[in-house]
Structure 1
Amino acid sequence: MKTKYLKINPADNVAVAIVELPAGTTLTVDGKEVVLNDTIPAGHKFALQDLAEGENVIKYGYPIGHVKKAQKQGDWLNENNIKTNLAGLLEYTYNPVNAELNIPNRNLTFKGYRRSNGQVGVRNEIWIVPTVGCVNGIVGQLAEGLRRETGGKGVDAIAAFPHNYGCSQLGEDHENTKKILRDMVLHPNAGGVLVVGLGCENNQPDVFREFLGEYDQERVKFLVVQKVEDEYEEGMKLLRQLYEKASQDVRTDVPLSELRVGLKCGGSDGFSGITANPLLGMFSDFLVAQGGTTVLTEVPEMFGAETILMNRCRTRELFDQTVKLINDFKEYFLSHGEPVGENPSPGNKAGGISTLEDKALGCTQKCGKSYVQGVMGYGERLQVKGLNLLSAPGNDLVAATALASCGCHIVLFTTGRGTPFGTYVPTMKVSTNSALAHNKPGWIDFNAGVIVEDEPMEQTCERFIDYVIRVASGEPVNNEKKGYREIAIFKNGVTL
């Protein structure tokens, strides 16, 4: 590796260490010598010039906060000496930019499952979905029972998805639970779904059935356990019917324009905005240019970079919706007495992210440079193709569940620290650095760390496109191989 540091944007007054740089190291940046006053860990920032107290720190070409006190050229800049500029609600002005893509359509396809309603799935699985947490034990036993009977063959997976909710909730929390469970039941990655209710819960099975709207009754079955003598045997009868139907499904060629992909990051580090997130951005632009769909969420991790997204909105109406998306989440923070800028986790800081702006400017790179074509509330389902924004928090499992629930077939998840989890659709982990990929091969599916080593971004993206198509066509990712499948539902209100 020849590169020791990276100055990301010509306007930046900091650079990022690609490898650990010892104190006393002399670097030549833009023709000027910089002597490091501190040892700079890989992924962390150092000052390229003297900075006065309160002066903005510029990274990615934008302020990521200001220095708390004067800093010298060559100093290590981190969360201890940089403070966020974020505070409260803002007024925004629509300054639209040209976000047309000049990327040819390559008429690529993947092997997917065409459903009776025209939707396409990239998996053909049997799901058991509880209406309420009281039946979590039962759904787990039913899933295990069907796996024993079938040997796990004939479908891509058999999984139960326990959760804590469906009762003792009011208002928006109750609606959120209903929406996420509805979105799961109707998701095209499921070849068959058994909905298991208790019978006395707030989320009444009959009301929930109506809430689904139109659905394929051969693919979705209901069991209310208080109304049957032996819930296990009754459940197994229904599961056998679903299995018989789903096991006959076959993959067919589907245009890449049908693919819907969620964009998520977690356990970010100083390389996230240099390798993996820009890679996802390049892929997002490619998929959108093919007529496909990508979805960006984690609204709190847009704070500080939101105007970039707002100005890429295709219409003034979408701009207004994006302003509401941002300010509603800020008001949520403020209503709980929490500041809007205290987001980076201990792992983020250890990896080189100092402020929420630092995180956001790296995070939003996952959605590339295309127009924003749609804005969705939490629990809403995709209506338009192209790049969409989705309301959900930064929490990994809550946000990934929301991405799957809006209709994404796959969640692309970049990480610099590593995480094993997966939601109920394939959750592909993309490492920001090669060390993580080498140390955690059972977690990481694709290594973007090579981008700062010896491989051009364009070449990495071509490999990534090929890999995503293979996954969409049935190749399992690590969370699927290990059976790591979970859901989490956003909660804000009281529990009765």
Structure 2
Amino acid sequence: MTIQVPALIQLSDLDNVAVARSRIEAGQTVASAASRVLAVDAIDAGHKIALQTIGAGEPVRKYGQIIGLATRAIGAGEHVHVHNVDMVASRAQHGAGVDYRATPITHDGATFEGIVRPDGRVATRNFLGIVASVNCSATVCQRIAQHFTPQVLQDYPNVDGVVAITHGQGCGMASKGESMDVLRRTLRGYADQPNFAGVLVIGLGCEVNQVAGIVDGLAPRGPGLLATLKIQEAGGTREAIAAGIEALAAMLPMANEARRTTVSASHLVVGLQCGGSDGYSGISANPVLGAAVDLLVRHGGTAILSETPEIYGAEHLLTARAASQAVADQLMARLQWWETYTSTHGADMNNNPSPGNKVGGITTILEKSLGAVAKAGSTGLMAVYEYAQPVRAHGLVFMDTPGYDPVSATGQVAGGANLICFTTGRGSTYGCKPTPSLKLATHSALFQRMRLDMDFDAGTVVEGSQTIAEAGQELFELMLATASGQQSSSERNGLGDNEFVPWQLGAVM
């Protein structure tokens, strides 16, 4: 049976704009569930149309919230976008914790097949990692990883691969301070990642970021599953490559002993990402992911919301759900840090949306942020973490990261994420190792056009064939299957070896 759905999506009775489900031609009469309007302009799918006259300087409302101000009078039926809307400073009122409700944990048996590590943490993948302390050791790390081809690994079927974690930092920087703290915290997080069965840390030998600063104090691994190497002490590049291959070859039989067992969904730690967003992101994929997050939290699991510049203007929706005043204050402190940081560098918080976001129908950072926070579902905000800090709390948490997806996801994985869920409206192909990444398409045309890169079609919500709750349940089941070993599209495409991008702060000296 064909489902008849309105041509326009109006998200709140307070809204004076609606979103086009598909392209609208000028002169076409279109309707939402509550309004009807004659289109003055041609309007692309995912873009906004004025439902009524909006005077110059008056607020433009979507999601029941202000997303900008009209720069001139906008007539009913006109296209509403960057040519007639500008940013407005967020003036939302904050009521810390006013909407917080404790989430009862259910015991209905949601499980996945995970790998239980000796310390009780649970992995979704079983890799060996090679972590560079400095860019000077990057090539050695990569050459060692390249040795372990599928042919070499064929006798170790329980090992998912060998991954080189390389970067462009580690020297030419202050030995103390914020930039070094962030780099070391990130590298330590990867060296401690449960999805790595064993880790080899490699330095040049004379760098500022010494190997000892990464490995000292790491949680114990099994005997022989943590090793270090310095190129200068090994005798040079070729000698270090040979020594590294030998060290990892010794780890392979031990890593291969890993077996999957049935564990509670409470062991799932999911990083939430959105990239290449469009006008549908806050309507379909993000709220669908939010519904799945609510299910995850209800089963005792953890979800990490991040990308601080992309909650700007919507932070009041999160502080209202904070479990305490202290949690709300921590979130606001990070936003204030970002305001100072961007101002110091001659930028502002409306540097977002990107050109691709705008082509997709997003006009201001307020609009983007209001859609982005939908990924967080509706449960309480339990904790706020700085970049790459270990995530210990259960439930919904926030980690301060840039909005740039690879940098943000790198921080989440360093914090312990064993799964990434990544919504996209323009078509991000992001892959991640050692943590699998699921790509959620905001509309079905994208899902079909990039079928080999997309894992989930949230366009069913736009088309009206599924509710957000129904799609959220389906996504939750996909998350459990992926955590159990089912490969994501990016894994099948061989992506994820080059996406480690730690946040670089401070001067390069």
Task: Specify the alignment match of 2:360 in structure 1.
Answer: 351
Match of 1:208?
Answer: 214
Aligned counterparts of 1:216 and 1:343: Cα–Cα separation in 2: 45
Q: Secondary structure of 1:63's match?
A: strand
TM alignment of 1:146-157, pairs within 5 A: 146-147=148-149, 148-151=151-154, 153-157=157-161
Verify: 1:163 aligned to 2:176, yes or no: no
Superposition deviation, residue 489 in structure 1: 0.9
Residue 418 of structure 2 corresponds to 409
1:394-418 CA distances to partner (integer Å, 9 max, x unpaired)?
0010001111111110110000011
Please state if 1:473 is matched with 2:477.
no
Who is 2:381 aligned against? Answer: 372
Task: Name 1:125's counterpart in structure 2.
Answer: 127
Q: Which amino acid in the other structure matches residue 488 of structure 1? A: V
Farther off after superposition, 418-427 or 366-375: 418-427
Match of 1:112 in 2: 114
Query: Which letter maps to 2:160?
Result: D
Aligned residue among 131, 134, 141 for 1:139: 141
Q: CA deviation at 1:211?
A: 4.8
- Cα drift, residue 222 of structure 1: 1.0
Would you say 1:240 and 2:249 are equivalent positions? yes
Alpha carbon RMSD of aligned pairs, Å?
A: 1.8
CA displacement 1:415-461 (0-9 Å, x = unmatched): 00112222221111100011111111221111111111222222222
Counterparts of 2:387 and 2:253, CA distance in 1: 34
Q: 2:436 & 2:32 partners in 1: Cα distance?
A: 42
The residue aligned with 2:53 is 50
Aligned to 2:500: 487
Given the alignment, which residue of 413, 438, 446 partners 1:436?
446
Query: Are 1:92 and 1:323, in contact at CA under 8 Å, matched by a contact in 2?
Result: no
Q: Select 1:69's aligned residue among 67, 72, 76.
A: 72
**Is 2:279–2:362's contact at 8 Å kept on the other side of the alignment?**
yes
SS at 2:328 equivalent: helix
Q: Within 5 Å, which residues of 2 pair with 1:48-447? A: 48-86=51-89, 92=94, 94=96, 96-101=98-103, 104-147=106-149, 148-151=151-154, 153-170=157-174, 171-212=177-218, 214-229=220-235, 230-424=239-433, 425-447=435-457
Q: 1-side partners of 2:484 and 2:79: how far apart?
A: 46
Secondary structure of 2:397's match? strand
- C-alpha deviation, 1:232, in angstroms: 1.9
* Amino acid aligned to 1:492: L
User: CA-to-partner distance for each residue in 1:188-225, whole Å, 9 max, x for gaps?
Assistant: 01111111111111111123221535444432111112
Shift in Å at residue 329 of structure 1? 1.4
Query: 1:140 aligns to what SS in structure 2?
Result: helix
2:508 alignment partner, SS class: coil
Q: Partner of 1:452 in structure 2?
A: 462
- For residues 187 and 24 of structure 1, the distance between their equivalents in structure 2, rounded to whole angstroms, comes to 57
Q: State the alpha-carbon separation in 2 of the partners of residues 216 and 16 from structure 1.
A: 54
1:381–1:407: 8 Å Cα contact kept in structure 2? Answer: yes
Deviations 1:117-163 (A, max 9, x none): 11110111111111111111111111121225223733112211221
Matches of 2:284 and 2:213, distance apart in 1: 47
Asked if the contact 2:100/2:323 (under 8 Å) is kept, the reply is no
Please say if residues 103 and 286 of structure 1, whose CA atoms lie closer than 8 Å, have aligned partners that are also in contact.
no
Shift of 1:381: 0.7
In 2, are the aligned partners of 1:398 and 1:490 still within 8 Å (CA)? yes
User: For residues 30 and 118 of structure 1, do their structure 2 counterparts lie closer, same or farther at Cα, with a shift above 3 Å needed?
Assistant: closer
State whether residues 278 and 425 of structure 2, in contact with CA within 8 Å, keep that contact through their aligned partners in structure 1.
Answer: yes
> Contact conserved, 1:86 with 1:340, CA < 8 A, in 2?
no
- Aligned ranges 1:11-22 → 2 under 5 Å: 11-22=14-25
Question: 1-side partners of 2:66 and 2:466: how far apart?
Answer: 29
Evaluate the alpha carbon distance shift between residue 381 and residue 201 of structure 1 in structure 2; reply closer, same or farther with a 3 A threshold.
same
Give, in whole Å, the separation in 2 of the partners of 1:208 and 1:375: 24
Q: Deviations over 1:437-487 (max 9, x none)?
A: 111122111111111122222222222121111100001112222221120
Residues 215 and 155 of structure 1: CA distance in aligned 2, closer, same or farther (over 3 Å) = closer
Partners in 2 of 1:217 and 1:174 — Cα distance? 29
2:289 and 2:374 map into 1 onto residues whose CA distance is 8
Distance (Å, rounded) in 1 between the aligned partners of 2:222 and 2:344: 42
Distance 1:258 1:33 in 2: 48
Contact in 2 for aligned 1:342/1:355 (Cα 8 Å) = no
Report which stretch shifted further, 284-293 or 417-426: 417-426
Is contact 1:271-1:416 (8 Å) kept? yes
Please tell me whether the aligned partners of residues 57 and 65 of structure 1 are also in contact (alpha carbons under 8 angstroms): yes
Gaps of 5+ in 2: none
Mapped partners of 2:78, 2:105: distance in 1: 41
Distance 1:215 1:317 in 2: 34
> Does structure 2 retain, via aligned residues, the 8 Å contact 1:176–1:490?
yes
**Contact 2:385 2:399 (C-alpha < 8 Å) held by counterparts:** yes
Q: Quick one: distance in 2 between partners of 1:297 and 1:37? A: 39
Q: Which moved more, 1:305-314 or 1:478-487?
A: 478-487
Residue pair 2:129, 2:198 contacting (<8 A) in 1 also: yes
Question: Does structure 2 conserve the Cα–Cα contact (< 8 Å) formed by 1:86 and 1:341?
Answer: no
SS in 1 for 2:115: strand
Decide whether aligned partners of structure 1 residues 400 and 125 sit closer, same or farther in structure 2, where only a CA change above 3 A counts.
same
Task: For residue 178 of structure 1, give the secondary structure of its aligned residue in structure 2.
Answer: helix
Structure 1 spans left out of the alignment, 5+ residues: none
Alignment partners' CA distance in 2, 1:301 and 1:349: 14
Aligned equivalents of 1:449 and 1:86: distance in 2?
A: 32
- Work out the CA distance in 2 between the residues paired with 1:479 and 1:347: 21
